Structure 1
């Protein structure tokens, strides 16, 4: 959409075992503050009934979302201090692992640190659990769609989409391509592959496997995982 240029379908991808991720059920986006009525009408037409906002309180206050009438607005703030912030060994190691990038680019160092913290920070893990649980709740309604977003729809949203697609069985190369598409939709050099790689590296370092991250790190229930797969995968 012209007023949310990184708004796109999270589906349409082939999984490693030959399924497809359904389209028209989950979208990813940048913020929805600039939408006009025609945009809201378009979202209502695709039965968008849940908006999950990954932004912090300042972002939400300065640029509040515009959502279709009747849609559920859900906050899943990655920086919600009440859910816990990174500390101790996780924070120290994330800082240490980011330091070599300072030699090449401060932007790389900052983003690689941020992506690692999106994996291990308690507030971030709670936010992604809430996001995925909310999407699953909407899928149980047999038809309505959800969207999750942050400000630019590329970092917090990018990792959220990577988690969802990987959980559904989409291969890493395809997940990376979806992540890097923000460079087309939002602007050149909006994201870099090594940032996403840093997040996956942190998953393996902290949890040993992606499945352990989903089950232990995010704390997703078997029912939520089953609902996401049943609702979003098709032959």
Structure 2
């Protein structure tokens, strides 16, 4: 039992902070902005050896008929396992800035491996403090709870506790107007809300925003299943790792919790950006001019 207890305390932490899938398929390194043939949904994922949830945000249509430029905005999971080839690929993509939403502990344990020429910006969101003890309790059988409800509350906290960080994120895009990659650890919660916020800010319909959010499940399916299998194996059957699946991927209710919180408190995302984040309408026009192109 001592061996199993060790697993219960250590494996959940690994799962929550994100795990990369290094079994990368033999796919060519695509530079979307330079090749219109690859500017499509089928080629949105950026294939790296050291990540499993990196993607291009170009091509999404806005309600006014424009679309996001390719080669300008990327979202990802942690970059601590990037190979030299991965780092070279980031440079080929034209990325100039990396924004890291991870906590101080996460960054200390697994620092980003980046080319020295990239600008590295820290915008920490310490949102996992209540998650780990709950997951450990659930796995040990001490707590009977819907684990997905944990991330519903976490997404609400992005609005109540971390709006200042997301204000800084949007303002950073406006002020610098350089190709940017932003990430957290798993690339799905903190980075997922950041992607949703900026897409909604420039006029991408909510339906499309949620579809982008849900792509995490497609891109990380193999990685998630691999870790569930490992937990079941190494716990000698004493743990049903399937109960963790909601935490390892995404569900629509997670992002809807954040969006519903915004609508309940502010009426609309536009009001939230203007009244809570204090970002002027003129600045959002600048953001649109930077990110959008005529279709």
Q: Distance in 2 between matches of 1:57 and 1:177?
A: 30
Q: Distance in 2 between matches of 1:4 and 1:222?
A: 36
Shift of 1:77: 1.1
Shift of 1:13: 0.6
1:78 equivalent to 2:125? Answer yes
Whether the 8 Å CA contact 2:49–2:83 is kept in 1: the answer is no
1:175 equivalent to 2:213? Answer no
Partner of 2:53: 6
Select which of 203, 227, 233 maps to 2:286. 227
Select which of 273, 283, 287 maps to 1:214. 273
Whether the 8 Å CA contact 1:120–1:206 is kept in 2: the answer is no
Q: Distance in 2 between matches of 1:169 and 1:118?
A: 21
Q: Deviations over 1:116-170 (max 9, x none)?
A: 111121xx1111111122222331xxxx410110000001111110001111111
For 1:95-106, list aligned pairs within 5 A.
Answer: 106=146
Shift of 1:223: 4.7
Select which of 129, 134, 149 maps to 1:109. 149
Shift of 1:105: 5.4
Partner of 1:148: 182
Q: Which moved more, 1:63-72 or 1:190-199?
A: 63-72
Unaligned runs of at least 5 residues, structure 2: 1-47, 128-143, 225-245
Q: Distance in 2 between matches of 1:159 and 1:10?
A: 14
Whether the 8 Å CA contact 2:101–2:184 is kept in 1: the answer is yes
TM-score normalised by the chain length of structure 1: 0.83
Q: Which moved more, 1:27-36 or 1:216-225?
A: 216-225
Q: Distance in 2 between matches of 1:223 and 1:76?
A: 24
Aligned CA distance change for structure 1 residues 79 and 218 (closer, same or farther; 3 Å): farther
TM-score normalised by the chain length of structure 2: 0.66
Shift of 1:226: 2.2
Shift of 1:15: 0.9
The root-mean-square deviation of aligned C-alpha atoms, in Å, is 1.7
| Secondary structure in structure 2 of the residue aligned to 1:126 | helix
Unaligned runs of at least 5 residues, structure 1: 81-103
Q: Distance in 2 between matches of 1:152 and 1:79?
A: 14
Aligned CA distance change for structure 1 residues 66 and 223 (closer, same or farther; 3 Å): farther
Q: Which moved more, 1:4-13 or 1:175-184?
A: 4-13
Whether the 8 Å CA contact 1:131–1:148 is kept in 2: the answer is no
Partner of 1:25: 72
Partner of 2:170: 132
Whether the 8 Å CA contact 1:9–1:26 is kept in 2: the answer is yes
How many matched pairs?
206
Select which of 107, 115, 121 maps to 1:60. 107
